Every structure is written in structure tokens, then in C-alpha cells.
Amino acid sequence: MSVDTTVETSSVFGVHVPQPRQHGAAGGVMRRLNFGTGLIGGVALATIAGWGTAILTPSSASNATFAPMEPTYVYLAVLLGWVIGFMLGIGAFVGPLRWVVGSDITHADAEYMGGKDLGKKRYWKYTTDHKVVGIQYLIVTMLLLGFAGLLAMLIRTELGMTWTELFSPSFYNSMIGTHGIAMILAMIVAVTGPLGNFIVPMMIGARDMAYPRLNALSLWLFVAAVPMLISSMFMGGIQDGWSVYQPLASQAPVGMLGYQLTIIVFAISTAIASVNLMTTILTMRAKGMTWSRTPIFVYGIFASSLMGLYAFPFFQYAQILGLSDRVFGTSFFNPLNGGSVWLYENLFWLLGHPEVYVIIIPSAAIALELMPVFLRKPLFSFNFAVAGIVGVVALSGFVWAHHMYMTGWAPAANYPFMLSTEMISIPVGFLVLVAIGTLWRGTTWTRLPLMAVYAVIFNKMIGGVTGIYLSDVPADQYFHGSMFVVAHFHFMLMGAGLFGGMAGIAFFFPKMTGRILDERIGSIGLWTSFIGFQVTFISMFVAGLQGQPRRVLDFDSQFNISNWISTIGAYVIGIGMLIFLAAIITSWRSGDVASSNPWGSKSLEWQTATPVPLENFPVLPVVTERPYNYGVPDPYEAELDAIDADLAEKVGNK
Amino acid sequence: MKKFLVTLVTVLLGGAIVAGVGVFNSVRQEEPPVLVANVVGTKKAPSGEEMPHAELYLDVYPNSSSKVPQPNTPSPINNVLLAGQPFYHPSTSLQVPAHSLVTIHFRQFDGGGQIYNPYFSQVHGTVDGTMKWNGKEVTEIKPDQVGHTFTVHQYPESDQPYFFMSIPLPMNKANAKTDKAGYPVDPQTISVTFMTGEAGSYVWNCEFPCGDMYQEFGGPMQTRGWMAGTFDVVEA
Amino acid sequence: MSTDTLNPQTPEEPEAPTNRPPSMRRVTLWLRRPYARRVLILTVVIGFLLLPLCWLILAGMNQTGAPASEIMKDIEQTVFVFTLVSIPITAFVFAVLLYSLLGWRRVTGDEPPMQDSPAIRTNTIGVILWTATSSILAMFLVVWGLIELAQITANSYGSISANEQPGQSKSEIINVTGQQWVWTFEYPQHDGLTSDVLYLPLDRPVYFNVTSKDVIHSFWAVELGVKIDANPGAITQTGVTANKLGTFNVRCAELCGMYHAYMQTEIRVLEQDAFDSWVRESGGKKTS
Amino acid sequence: MIVADVAGTIALVISYTYLWSLNVNGGWAPPGSSLTAEQTNSSIPSTPPVASFAAEGPFWAIFLVVVLATALMWFGYRSARRGNQAGLILGAGLSFLVTVAALVFQWIQISTFPFGAGDGSYASAVLLLCASNIFHLFLLIFIGMGIFMRARKGLIDKTNWYQAQAASYYMTWVSVAFILGAILTTFLVVSPNTDPAIFGTFTQQ
């Protein structure tokens, strides 16, 4: 969308586009908009909308049957007002409107939006520079993670205090729902947001994303979505778990609207970000960067974007249908009037399982990306890593019903879905093979990022093995809906996903902030949370084996011990995460200044200066060799050749 | 050194935030004050044995009005969201003595209709399996004339006795004479007597769909202080 | 140990494709290397350390009296076998993780180390071996799962509608209704007798028709290994034969609103006589 | 400037997947409607809806209108490729007007349905199809207006035509979306499931 139509950005369809004539004046209202005006706009429009709706809706006194709906309409209006007002206030609609009337943004304005000469202020604006967007994503994600982590601590506190009800059941239920969805959203963007935006364009040797303004749009839509989710906590909350199965969701308090609108907005944001990333990766790789020369992390991000792109609309439409059930009284999911609860489950899990891989694959790719750097040897069997990712993507669309083994929906479908689900362990196994192959005989440079990678592999192994139990229908008949499932997906999403994100942050920190992440404090944080993590979730496995259902506030006293241990572990995780956070904060403020390539990496993003200049590279790089060209030629190669020659000679002599 | 100080501060601050939010929400939880059934004498159990006897008085109102009781709950948000919904009064957190006969007297001011599951239009778990409805003993009422139910059920503890009790509260006719506040002048009166065993914690809720949203089972049906609550049996 | 990679005398791993004739010889050469042997030993050690898990898992599952049915026994068998099968591969990965930290050369410090790791780009034997192993294991698990699933389905007749269930005269049919937040059980063969506790006769097949009056619940008879969702607007079927006397648990396994945690009741498995007398006392007529 | 192809790409992909998911819906809604008719013997109080099926004619009519708009856009795009600026402006402008007309038709159709939102799942599904149509039409109006204005200002011409191309492709897709809706509402009306489960009760033993 940017108007500085350098050849790179506008040759998307393979056509050279000349610099267009400039229409419209530079400057204008756009330059004065920032996060503050966004907030003002959002709050103002929300207030107006809510107030207007409250007046227009027949009041409860005059129409008793209508009364329960009034908060629904008002809250809906407030939320919609917030989103539109916020996006208006931050200036998201300026570009499209000017496009329609044909007076495009001038070159000077485009540079202004790119954050030129803005200093720190650019982080508060609708900035199109991918590096600024990456940092913004990082901050927002960390805030959301903190919020969801806070809820996690409260949940574990409640479950640890088995002798009393610390919170009322409604509040507890809304906590688990909000924790779940906030974590899922945060984890979905945790890698693709900050690292995908900041690193990928540099890694492939591009100046920016393909559509810089869409980049900003996706970020600010995400920012607009988050407050809605949090606000729902105060409106009765999401009392239905993160999956908000219908029709329970249509019974919930009005807070459910917050969830539904969050998902709808978030899905738009994800779709935009995905298209952007995919287009960038497809069209803007540096000269000479063929597919076999593209780093594995780029593959991971691409795969994740692709899955996000096709999976999220299902979720979005599930929520739109749910919203329409609630607000307009339609009956998609209301069995009383011919709706089907299985429809929701299908739509939901059509998202639900690909989404897990949306989270896992980037972190796995980070792990694989980091290992060559710290082991100083090439990635083992690059083709296999790609094959693994491709396999996961290909299969991910065909496994959704393994969440529905026990729903009674088409029992006969259990057989094929069991097959496809267990098949997916083969491509995942490829990734593990690549990891251990890269470890094989390598000299380990034991720095913080590599340690996080070890944690990822360890957790992923446990998560993967327990996943096989759950993919198997007979075992799932016992484990479905129990704490075992909770422990399993925490091992995958948190153990592999979040620790992978930590590895990525630790690794790319010097490039993103210009400073080194404090090794000692970071390591303490990492290992504390790792140990706490094992304690928490392994004892949660035990609770699941004993037969504790998930999402319960109270449980039989036979589960007490495993829950107490689990709670203690959770506190340890919390402390570890806070220490890691402290490492980030202190290093960001006053860490050691990093050189441009502190890890001695060979990939493109480290070849440019730190801090990264506005357009990344003074001269666009040209790639001439495969990635991960580390290590010395294997000394045994020659030896083996000698053996071969020797043998050949012997064979020949015979 | 300074770095470690910052780390310590971060951890303490994080812990403080968690604790603060936890305590705040714990204090603010939507629990009405506990209504205790005190032992007032003894009564003869069906086995002929004299047992301590306690009494409780509960009312069910169709909606709150300025003249009459309000739902007894500390949550201002719920008071807004659930305005005009039926509720139990004076409290939904009940406490009764163990090893006793307990009598609960209900006054039911609300209307009603068809219940989903006829099982809950029968009386379960009381002494003799009966309840006294406007003076006469009944074991069940018509499923299409239920106003509310008072259904106590199991708490997930295996080391406390199984306890289940369900009483239907018949509805008032739509044309019943009402006072100025809109409540029937002669509410349905129901009293039931049941025996408690060992101490334990249970929950109770209404099984008649009288809330809002899907299946009329949302809102007050899922909020303590309205149509659901706790039921503790404690050693005297 | 850390000098392995630097020791030129050590025979080394093959790098070249396997289409050269002496690949078996390469494998034996490879096995002679100290690090290879150590990793394998470590694998075996870790494997043996993990082995008790097989039984520990079952101990956890049996804590409340399971298995009380043939289905639960099948489930436990499956879990046992799966644990057994996953142990070698887990042990191998953990061994490599451990050995790469402790065994191969390790550097710390702020500067990027010298590039002295061997540039292994791929290893066809290893790749093929891994792929074959993981595929075979996955296939084994799939086949095992399919067989067990078929067996469980046969035991529960989950996919056959109530009217067509075999041995209907001898079997007990129970209509399970989930409702926020109470389970009720109806015995249609006994005059529509209803109960809030699930009474089951010992050693007789029981068929459940499960539905819900409002939202989705999940009927989980924990120690019997039976789980099926109770869906509004649909009837799901499953079944079981309880083969152990005692008191077991029914829990709801699908979040169903505020009192989801309290949506529990008991299963009482009784001898046939006791069951009959319970039926008589509760007002249903005996038909079986 | 790139908005067009971006919006095109995104909306293309989104609506692709989205209508795909709706397909699930559309196939499923008629069974729902037959279920509601038999529901009267349920023990749960319900008011059986009085839904009748919508006439399929209007769906096809609106579809044809959209096809016309698409054809006009293609004509405009082709003209631009040939350097015929007047043709481009004509095509884009007419396409824009026809889209507005389609929106009006769509609105008339919705307001004359023989059912409301609460009348069972068939009604819900049909209404949602129409809602998605409206959403699409709004997008088209936005894009059409943009193309038209930009064509007038000369921002789209012989050398710089890919926005018009993207818009044309996108409109083609929207036509497909419309025909999907029309097919669903024409051919998948009566449910094949004549013995559905009845809510909350057990079938007689």
C-alpha cells in the first residue's frame, strides 16, 4: 500500500510500475494521529454508541420480555464503537479513503509513516516500518501474556487451596475461559508477530514487508481486540472455557460478546498479517535466495501463516454465527429450533487443530534456526525439516475431529481421524530427527538461546508422546476432558511454544534492541520456569490419570496432592517468568551494547548494522550459498573416501 | 548487583500484583452472607428417635422491587445485569447442623410453567419422601405447574456422604391476587423436613428454567445470590 | 570424552549416500565409535529408568478401583503398550540431548566459538533408519489402536441404536439425561423408574442412551472407562458390562456452566439380586 | 494504491474459506428445518416456528445482476489493457452502479422473506447467506467506487492496470459466492433426514 513505489514493492504481479504522479497534499490530519487519539476516538465512540443504544432500546420497565437483551445491545454497541473509534482515531481509515477518492498518500507522508525522523514517537503511531511493528507486537504480546499468566496464577491458587472456594464458580469459570483464549491469542502472535515482522523481512533480505500499511493495520486491529477480551471479564466473563462450546455460550452473560467480537476482529488481523507475510516471503526474497537457500525459520513462518489463513475464518464464522444467535435470535446452534451443537464443534475444531500447529511450527522452526548457529554446524538434513513442516501443514487440516471422538458425532469417523492424527507424528518426528541430527557431534556453545532450545526439544518430546495417547480413541475415551489433556497441551503450547518464543526473543534480542539479553538473569529465569513447568504439568498428568476432569473448581480429595504439587510448580513458573521478564527489562534499558552480529551468525538479518537502518540494507544483498554454512569440512570425509577407494580397489582386484 | 535488585523488584511486584488481584476478587466474590439454621429443639425422626431440630425460612421472589427485599449479593455488576430476575431470599448460602432434622419453610411468590425433566417435579430425599404444600402432604406436583425447585446435590468429595434432595415449589396462578409490589397476596407455602448425616459441603440450584438466555438457564440460574447457592452441613 | 571429535584416530561416521556397497560395514564401523556406544548405553539406561512409568501410570488410573469393566481393561492395556513403545524413542532423544550437553565438546563464553563442528549435512542411513522406525512405530500404534477401538466398540455397541441392540431382553437399557447440573437415570424396562444414582447390575450388559436437556455434558463413568457426550438434540449410545462390585464415580467431563464441577454422582454396581430388590423397592417392576 | 489488490487478495482468500464453511451450513440447514416441524411432542416448551421456504428466484436474479457487474468490470479492465480509457471509466462506473442496484435488490429480498431470524435454522442459514452477500456487495461498492474514481483521475491506465485486474478477479469470485448461495437455496431445500432426534427426550423403546 505504500506509495514509495520502489521497484521491489510494486512489482508484486511481476510488472514494473513507474513512480506514480502525486495526488493530494503532504501532511494533513494523518500526521497528528497516534495511540492517544486512537484511545480517545475509541472511548468517545464507544460512549456515544452505548449511550445511544441504551436510549433507543426499549427500557426494561416498559417491556419486561425485552429486558434481558438490553445489556446485550448496549455492550455490543460499546464494543463496536470502540473498535471503529479506535481505528478511526489512530488513522487506519485514512489510507483506504484516500485510495477511493484517488488522492494517494505522498512520498513524504509514506516516509513519515515509515517512522522517519520520528524518534521514540514512532512506537505510538500507525507506523508502517516492519521493525517498529515488530517491537509493538512484542510489547503487546508480553502484556497479554502477563495478563493471562496472572489468571493462570489465580487459577492454580484456587486449585491449590482445596479446602476453600477462593473464588465463586462463575468467576472461576470466566477465569479459565479468559486465561485460555488470552494465552492462545498471545501464543499465536508470540512468534509470528514480533519475530515474523521484525526478522523475516531482514532474513530474506527485503527492505520491508510487501504491504507495510497492512502490517500496521493487523497490529492495531490486534491492539483493538485485546481490551474487548479483557473488558468481558467485567461483564460476567467467558464462563465456557476457551472453546466456548455452544449452546453453553449462548447462555453465558453478556461478556461472551467481548469474546466473540475479539475473535472476529482478531481473525481479520491474522488474515491480514498472514497474507502480508506470505506475499513478502513469496515475492521479496533477496536475489539468489532460492527455496533451498531460504532459512528454515522463514519456512516455519510461512507454514504458520498459511494454516492461520485457512483455519481462522472457520473460527471467525463460528463466532459470527454465535453472535447472530445471541443478538438476532437465529438458531445455528440452538437445538430447540433446529440448530446443531455438532456444527459448532466442527467449525471450531477446523480452526482448533491447525491453530495448535500455528503455534508450534514457528517455535520449532526457531529451534532449528538457532541450533546451527550455536552448534556451528549446518542444519541436519534441511530437506527433511522442510518435508516435516510440509507434512504437518498438509495433515493439519484433516485431524480436527480427534477433538470430537467422544462427542458421539459420527462414531465411524473415529477410525480415519485416528489414522490421520497418528500419521502426523511422522512429520513431527522428522523435525525431531533434524534437531537431534544437528546436535549430533556438535560443539555446543551453551548460551541462553541454545538452552531454551534444549528445553523446547525436551518438552516437545513429552508433549508429543502424550499426544499419541490422546490421538488414540480407546485411550482418549479415558483421557478426554480430563486434566491429562490440559497437561498435554500445556506441554505443547507452553513447553514447546512459549519456550521456543523465549529462545527466539533471547536470540534476536541484540538485533531488535541493540543490547545483549543478560545471560545470567535470563538463564536463571529460564531454568526456574523450566523446572517449575515440569513439576506443574507432570503432576497434572497424574491428576488426569487419576481421573480429574478439567475445568473444575472443586474436586475429590484424592486429587489434592497432585494439585498441591502442581500449584507449587506453577508459582515457580511464575517466578521464573518474572525473572526472565526482569532480564528483558534490565537488558533493554541498560544491557551491554551488542555488536551487529554477536552470535557470529551467517544469515542475512545479522549482516546489517545494529540498530537496523530504516530500510534495513544499504544495498540489497545477494545470496550465493545455502544457509547454515558452518563447521569445518568433515575430517572423516577424506578418510572415508580413502576407505572407499581402498575397498573399491580391493573389489576391483578381485 | 543493580540488575539483581531489579529482578527481585520485578518478582516481588509480580507476586504483589497476583496477590492483590487474587485478594480483591476473592473478597469481591459474589457470595451472599451465610444463613445459619440454628437448632431450636428436638423432633421425632421416623425411626422414633429424638433428634435435634433446626429450621430455615426461605422466600422466592419473581423480581426485585423497591418495596420488598433485594437479592442479597454484594456484586454491583450482577445487580445491574440481572435486574428483574427471580431470586431466593434472604440468602443462598445455607448452613445446617449435622445429624439433625432440618425443616425448611418456603414461600413462593413466583409464577411458573412446564419443567424440562419431570423428575424434578417429584419430591426426593426428604423424610418419608413428602413435602407439605399449603398444609397438605404431597410427593409430587404436576410437571406443568412448577415454579421453582430446590435441588441439593453432590459435591465432588468421596469422603463425605452422598446427599441428594430435590423439592419442587409449585407456581402461583397467573391470575392470583397480587399486592402493590406485584407479589401474590397468598404465596405458595411449602415446608419440607429432611435428615442430615455426617458433615459435608454441597451445592444447590434451581432446576426450573427461570433465567434468561438459551433455555432460560442463564443469568440468575448461574449466579449465586439468585437461584443457586451452597449448602453446608456442619457439626454443631 | 570431549576430545572425541578431535581425535583423528577415531573411526568416523559415514557421510556419503548408501548406494555404495559397504554400507553395512559403515554401520559396524560407526558402532565401534566410543560416543556412539555411549549414546546407546545412555539410551538403554534412560529407557530402563523410564520403564517403571508403564506401571506407575496404571497405578494412577487404578486408584479408585478401576478397571471395573472389560472396556477399562482394554484402555489400560492400550495405555500400557503405548508407554512401552514410546519409551525407546524418548530415551534415545533424551540421551542425545544429555550427551550433547555433557559428552561432545562444549564451550562457554561471549565470543562465537571457532567453527570446529563437523559440517554434517545429512546422513542417509540415519534418516532412513529414523523414518522407518518412526513410521513402523506409528503404524503399529495405529493398528493397535484400531483393533482396540473395534474391540471396545464391540463391547459397548456404541454405534448401534437402542432398538437394534442385541440381547435386548437380557440387557439393561438406561436412559441417561444430563441437565445443568444433575444426572438422572431412567430405567425404561422397569416402568420408567428414575434415579439420581446410577445402579448397575453386575456382569450384565448395560446400554446407555445419553442426551441432554440443555447444554453439552459428557457422561463419564470413570472406573468403567465409558465416556460419551450428552448432546442436546441428539441421542448418543454406548454401553458397558460392569464386572466389579463397588461404588464408582460419574463425572461430567465437558464444561457445562457454573456447577460443572459438582455435576457428579455415584455408580453403585450391585449383584443381580440386590439390583432386583432395589428396583422393587423403588417402585419399578422386575422384568429381566 | 495497493489497497485494491491487497483487499482483493485477502477478501478472496477469506471469502473462499468462509463460503466453504458456509457450505457446511447450507447443507445442514434444511435438516434443521424439518426437525423443527416434528418437535411439538417434545416435553420442552417451544413454539414451533412457521417457516416456509424462500423463493429461489430472487437469488438467481441477484446473482445475474452481480454477474453483469462483474462482466462490466472485466470489460473495463480489458479496455484499460487496450488503452481505451473511456471504456475503463464506463465499465467501472457502470459496474459500480449495477452493484448498488444489486444491493438494493438484496435488501428488498431480505425484507420480503416469509420468515424472521428466529424461525429455525433454515431461516438462519438463508439470512446469513444474504448477510454475507450484503457484506460482499458493500466491499464491491467500495472497490468499484475506488476503481471508478481512480480511473477518472488517470491512476489506472494502460501501463498501470493491475488494480482493475485484481478487482475483476475478486468480482469473479464474488459471483461464484453468489451462485453457491443460489444453488444451496435452490437445490438443498427439503431435508433428507425425516426422522431426526427430538430434543431432550428419548425415542420410544
The whole-angstrom distance between C281's CA and the closest CA on chain A is: 30
Give the CA angle between residues A321, A325, A329 to the nearest 5°. Answer: 145
Q: What is the CA radius of gyration of chain D?
A: 21
Q: Which of residues 536-555 of A touch C (CB under 8 A)?
A: 542, 545-547, 549-555
Q: What is the pLDDT of residue A7?
A: 36
The Cα–Cα gap between A31 and A25 comes to 12
Candidates A170, A579, A583; nearest CB to B30 = A170
> Using the beta-carbon criterion (under 8 Å), do A336 and D10 form an inter-chain contact?
no
Give the pLDDT band of residue C257 (cuts 50, 70, 90). Answer: confident
- Asked if residues A308 and D15 have their Cβ atoms less than 8 Å apart, the reply is no
Q: What is the pLDDT of residues C157-193, one digit of tens each?
A: 644 554 555 555 567 888 898 888 899 998 888 887 8
SS3 call for A266: helix
The Cα–Cα gap between A156 and A145 comes to 16
Selected residue with higher pLDDT from C163 and A501: A501
> Using the beta-carbon criterion (under 8 Å), do B154 and C266 form an inter-chain contact?
yes
Selected residue with higher pLDDT from A17 and A588: A588
The Cα–Cα gap between A186 and A180 comes to 10
The Cα–Cα gap between A331 and D39 comes to 14
What is A598-612 written as a DSSP string?
A: TT---SGGGTS-SSP
Selected residue with higher pLDDT from A400 and D50: A400
> Which residues face C185 on adjacent strands?
C176, C195
- Asked if residues A623 and A288 have their Cβ atoms less than 8 Å apart, the reply is yes
The type of residue at D88 is L
Q: Which chain C residues are closer than 8 Å to D199 by Cβ?
A: 232-233
Does C167-281 carry CATH code 3.40.50.300? no
Q: What is the pLDDT of residue C198?
A: 92
Instruction: Please count the other Cβ atoms lying within 10 Å of the Cβ belonging to residue B234.
Output: 13
The Cα–Cα gap between A196 and A214 comes to 14
For residue A536, give the C-alpha cell.
506443574
The Cα–Cα gap between B76 and B66 comes to 16
Q: What is the pLDDT of residues C74-126, one digit of tens each?
A: 899 999 999 998 999 899 999 999 998 888 878 877 777 776 777 777 777 78
Q: What is the CA radius of gyration of chain C?
A: 28
What is B102-166 written as a DSSP string?
A: EEEEEEE----B--S-GGGGB-BSSGGG-EEETTEEESB--GGGEEEEEEEE--S-TTS----EE
The Cα–Cα gap between A628 and A382 comes to 10
- Residue A466 is inside which H or E element, if any? helix A448-471
The Cα–Cα gap between A353 and A400 comes to 5
The whole-angstrom distance between A43's CA and the closest CA on chain D is: 26
The average confidence (pLDDT) of chain C is: 81
> Using the beta-carbon criterion (under 8 Å), do C262 and B116 form an inter-chain contact?
no
Q: Is B139 on the interface with C (CB under 8 A)?
A: no
Say if residue C43's pLDDT is above 60. yes
> Using the beta-carbon criterion (under 8 Å), do A154 and B25 form an inter-chain contact?
yes
CA A32 to chain centre: 31
Q: Which chain B residues are closer than 8 Å to D43 by Cβ?
A: 114, 116-118, 143
Q: What is the pLDDT of residues A301-333, one digit of tens each?
A: 999 988 888 788 778 878 888 888 888 877 777
Burial code (b: 16+ CB inside 10 Å, e: under 16) for B177-201 equals eeeeeebbeebbebbbbbbbeeebb
Return the residue in B116, B207, B210, B214 with the most chain D beta carbons within 10 A, the one to mutate for interface testing: B116
Q: Where are the domains of chain D?
A: 3-35+55-187
Q: What is the CA radius of gyration of chain B?
A: 21
The Cα–Cα gap between A540 and A67 comes to 43
Q: Is C203 on the interface with B (CB under 8 A)?
A: no
- Asked if residues B89 and B61 have their Cβ atoms less than 8 Å apart, the reply is yes
Q: Which of residues 82-121 of A touch C (CB under 8 A)?
A: none
Please name the chains neighbouring A, where neighbouring means 3+ C-beta pairs under 8 angstroms. B, C, D
Return the residue in D39, D198, D202, D204 with the most chain C beta carbons within 10 A, the one to mutate for interface testing: D202
Q: What is the pLDDT of residue A212?
A: 83
Give the pLDDT band of residue B103 (cuts 50, 70, 90). Answer: very high
The type of residue at A10 is S
Q: In the block, which residue shows the cell 480430563? A: A482
> Using the beta-carbon criterion (under 8 Å), do B214 and C181 form an inter-chain contact?
no
The CATH code for residues B33-234 is 2.60.40
Q: Which chain A residues are closer than 8 Å to B21 by Cβ?
A: 150, 154
Q: Is C243 on the interface with A (CB under 8 A)?
A: no
- Residue B88 is inside which H or E element, if any? strand B87-89
Burial of C133: CB neighbours in 10 Å, binned 0-12, 13-18, 19+:
middle
Query: To 10 degrees, the CA torsion angle through A523, A529, A530, A532?
Result: 140
Candidates C123, C134, C141; nearest CB to A429 = C134
Q: Which chain B residues are closer than 8 Å to D44 by Cβ?
A: 114, 116, 215
Beta carbons within 8 Å of A422's beta carbon, 6+ residues apart: A468, A471, A472, C138, C141, C142, C145
Q: Which chain A residues are closer than 8 Å to B155 by Cβ?
A: 554
Q: What is the pLDDT of residue A90?
A: 85
Q: What is the pLDDT of residue D185?
A: 72
Total beta-carbon pairs less than 8 A apart between chain A and chain C: 315
Candidates B117, B154, B223; nearest CB to C184 = B117
**DSSP code for A46:** H
Q: Which chain B residues are closer than 8 Å to D200 by Cβ?
A: 116
For residue D41, give the C-alpha cell.
411432542
CA atoms within 13 A on the CB side of A107: 7
Say if residue A26's pLDDT is above 70. no
Q: What is the pLDDT of residue A20?
A: 47
- Measured over the CA atoms of residue B44, residue B45, residue B47 and residue B49, the dihedral's sign is negative
Q: What is the pLDDT of residues B172-207, one digit of tens each?
A: 887 878 777 778 888 889 999 998 888 888 999 998
Q: Is B116 on the interface with D (CB under 8 A)?
A: yes
**DSSP code for A498:** I
Q: Where are the domains of chain B?
A: 1-30, 33-234
Q: Which chain D residues are closer than 8 Å to B120 by Cβ?
A: none
- Asked if residues C233 and D199 have their Cβ atoms less than 8 Å apart, the reply is yes
What is B181-218 written as a DSSP string?
A: TS-BSS-EEEEEEEE--S-EEEEEE--S--SBSGGG-B
The Cα–Cα gap between A415 and A473 comes to 8
Q: Which chain A residues are closer than 8 Å to B9 by Cβ?
A: 582
Classify D3-35+55-187 by CATH class. mainly alpha
Q: Is C3 on the interface with A (CB under 8 A)?
A: no
Q: Is A521 on the interface with C (CB under 8 A)?
A: no
Q: What is the ipTM of this complex?
A: 0.86
- Measured over the CA atoms of residue C203, residue C204, residue C207 and residue C208, the dihedral's sign is negative
- When pLDDT is averaged across residues A379-403 and rounded to a whole number, the result is 87
Q: Which of residues 161-200 of C touch A (CB under 8 A)?
A: none
Helix axes A414-423, C124-156, angle to 10 degrees: 160
- Asked if residues C214 and C232 have their Cβ atoms less than 8 Å apart, the reply is yes
Instruction: Please count the other Cβ atoms lying within 10 Å of the Cβ belonging to residue B36.
Output: 15
Say if residue A225's pLDDT is above 80. yes
Beta carbons within 8 Å of D89's beta carbon, 6+ residues apart: D76, D148, D151, D152
Ramachandran class of A653: left when φ > 0, alpha when ψ lies in -120 to 50, beta otherwise: alpha
Q: Which of residues 351-390 of A touch C (CB under 8 A)?
A: 375-378, 380-384
Q: Is B158 on the interface with A (CB under 8 A)?
A: yes
Q: Which residue of D has its CA nearest to A268?
A: D14
Architecture (CATH level 2) of domain A106-636:
Up-down Bundle (1.20)
Of all residues in chain A, the percent with pLDDT exceeding 70 is 88
Q: What is the pLDDT of residues A402-433, one digit of tens each?
A: 888 888 777 778 888 888 888 888 899 899 99
What is A380-431 written as a DSSP string?
A: TTHHHHHHHHHHHHHHHTT-GGGGGGGG-S-GGGHHHHHHHHHHTHHHHHHH
- Asked if residues C119 and A633 have their Cβ atoms less than 8 Å apart, the reply is yes
Please name the chains neighbouring B, where neighbouring means 3+ C-beta pairs under 8 angstroms. A, C, D
Selected residue with higher pLDDT from B65 and C109: C109
Of all residues in chain A, the percent with pLDDT exceeding 90 is 27
Residue A24: name the closest of A133, A140, A104, A118 by CA: A104
Q: Which of residues 129-168 of D touch A (CB under 8 A)?
A: 131, 142, 145-146, 149-150, 152-155, 159-160, 162, 165
The whole-angstrom distance between B65's CA and the closest CA on chain D is: 28
Q: Where are the domains of chain C?
A: 4-105+122-156, 167-281
Residue A79: name the closest of A56, A39, A45, A35 by CA: A45
Give the pLDDT band of residue B46 (cuts 50, 70, 90). Answer: confident
What is the SS3 assignment for A203-225?
Answer: HCCCCCCCCHHHHHHHHHHHHHH
For residue A138, give the C-alpha cell.
512484542
The average confidence (pLDDT) of chain A is: 83
- Asked if residues A83 and A4 have their Cβ atoms less than 8 Å apart, the reply is no
Please name the chains neighbouring D, where neighbouring means 3+ C-beta pairs under 8 angstroms. A, B, C
- Asked if residues D166 and D5 have their Cβ atoms less than 8 Å apart, the reply is yes
- Asked if residues A333 and A247 have their Cβ atoms less than 8 Å apart, the reply is yes
The Cα–Cα gap between C227 and A485 comes to 15
**DSSP code for C161:** -
> Using the beta-carbon criterion (under 8 Å), do B164 and C197 form an inter-chain contact?
yes
Residue C265: name the closest of C181, C203, C207 by CA: C181
Please name the chains neighbouring C, where neighbouring means 3+ C-beta pairs under 8 angstroms. A, B, D
- Asked if residues C242 and C72 have their Cβ atoms less than 8 Å apart, the reply is no
The whole-angstrom distance between C199's CA and the closest CA on chain B is: 14
> Using the beta-carbon criterion (under 8 Å), do C180 and B228 form an inter-chain contact?
no
- When pLDDT is averaged across residues A206-225 and rounded to a whole number, the result is 87
Return the residue in A578, A585, A586 with the most chain B beta carbons within 10 A, the one to mutate for interface testing: A578
Q: What is the pLDDT of residues C268-280, one digit of tens each?
A: 999 999 998 998 8
What is the SS3 assignment for chain D?
Answer: CCHHHHHHHHHHHHHHHHHHHHHHHHHHHHHHHHHHHCHHHCCCCCCCCCCCCCCCHHHHHHHHHHHHHHHHHHHHHHHHHHCCHHHHHHHHHHHHHHHHHHHHHHHHHHHCCCCCCCCHHHHHHHHHHHHHHHHHHHHHHHHHHHHHHHHHCCCCCCCCCHHHHHHHHHHHHHHHHHHHHHHHHHHCCCCCCCCCCCCCCCCCC
Q: Which of residues 280-319 of A touch C (CB under 8 A)?
A: none
Candidates A18, A99, A338; nearest CB to D146 = A99
Say if residue A9's pLDDT is above 70. no
pLDDT (tens place) for every residue of chain D, 205 residues total: 444 445 555 555 555 555 545 544 444 444 334 444 334 334 444 444 444 566 667 778 888 888 888 888 888 888 888 877 888 888 888 888 888 888 888 888 887 776 666 666 677 777 777 887 888 888 888 888 888 888 887 777 777 777 788 788 778 878 877 877 777 777 666 555 555 555 655 643 3
Say if residue A144's pLDDT is above 70. yes
Q: Which of residues 151-180 of B touch C (CB under 8 A)?
A: 151, 153-156, 158, 162, 164, 166
